[in-house]
Structure 1
């Protein structure tokens, strides 16, 4: 699996780096409080190493595991960890992408949205307790609001902004400049946030955990 980082594309995009600023301690506390009030479980960790330890410990033996593309998951080392061997999980990601036939792979990918544990990130997080994420294909979006039994959203605190409006602006003005470059390199096509999720509330207790990492991760 390739190890892709924002630094790979930083020279190819024209963006306002203020979108990557870290929140103050008070702003981080506000985000945590409002995310929890919105029904999300929240775990704040110091760095990528702690984030990896948290998510791998959270997934029980025997669980089926799938993920959407996420530079953050690559940066914390989850994708490398997943590919290293048998962790006692049902690795839906490995199963899906071992299929050569396009139609069969797409069908398996749809089924994998309902994995016991689905991992990904968000493009922005509002301090008002809102998560915002988008895809060209929607390959993550089906799992986030309902299909997955459990959802682990890992994000650097650099993605925290004031509110839902600012979160959507960060998505369109910042994150997708990088995603467009990545898509062209990886797939030979341009990307676009054609399927956008605004995730304001989680109604199922314990279903969705937001892991906030006190580092700059992803875009």
Structure 2
């Protein structure tokens, strides 16, 4: 827990609003009971994040009639329709996702395939809420990049069997030129602008990739 407390202090110095939860279940209640009621939002969307899914917050939002839900990963939609929804998601009042890594100095480090998640993190939605397990907290930017390339990206790729990219088989980054490469765009978020626009729920469990 000390690691999360120290990370919270640094993140708050960088204008992020931070909550600490003991578990994914606790994170769910933190979001539903403490964060969501204060935001006064009408539309909600999300970027893919295993940690976020593990909290159950998206399942709640999908069943809640109080919000317009912009579904960016509806399997019944064509690829073109999914892309259009991901563009619409940038206009949502609230965007939910996770982060690939957070440094002990309070920076967010993320790597995307098409960039919809990091685009929303950077600009567009009025609020962004991130759900982050303690396993994502690393010492510095070098450690963050190493974690993302050697752990998160590999596990993410292996969870998408249809991509057919080298790292799925080798278990390590091959710096490939595959048309389905998932490692294309990096972002480093040093501070939240405006202050408290990005809210982070740090979870005292190893979650996600």
Normalising by the smaller structure, the TM-score range is 0.7 to 0.9
Determine helix, strand or coil for the equivalent of 1:141: helix
1:150 aligns with 2:140: no
Shift of 1:79: 3.1
Q: Where in structure 1 do 4 or more consecutive aligned residues deviate above 4 Å?
A: none
Instruction: State the number of aligned residues.
Output: 191
1:110 aligns with 2:100: no
Determine helix, strand or coil for the equivalent of 2:30: helix
Range moving further from structure 2, 50-59 or 119-128 = 50-59
1:79 aligns with 2:58: yes
Partner of 1:141: 118
2: CA distance, partners of 1:32 / 1:112: 27
Q: 1:98 to 1:159 in 2, by over 3 A?
A: closer
Q: Over the residues paired in the alignment, what is the CA RMSD in angstroms?
A: 2.0
Partner of 2:23: 47
* Cα deviations by residue, 1:85-129 (Å, 9 ceiling, x for unpaired): 2341111127x7377354344223202122111011011110011
Shift of 1:28: 2.8
Contact 1:59 1:117 in 2 (8 A): no
1:56 aligns with 2:56: no
1:66 aligns with 2:45: yes
Gaps in structure 2 of 5+ consecutive residues: 166-180
1: CA distance, partners of 2:139 / 2:75: 41
2: CA distance, partners of 1:104 / 1:76: 27
* Cα deviations by residue, 1:123-145 (Å, 9 ceiling, x for unpaired): 11100111111111112111001
2: CA distance, partners of 1:110 / 1:51: 27
1:36 aligns with 2:23: no
* Cα deviations by residue, 1:153-197 (Å, 9 ceiling, x for unpaired): 1001111111122111111111111011012x2x43434321111
Length-normalised TM-score, structure 1: 0.79
Q: 1:176 to 1:102 in 2, by over 3 A?
A: closer
Q: 1:206 to 1:93 in 2, by over 3 A?
A: same
Length-normalised TM-score, structure 2: 0.83
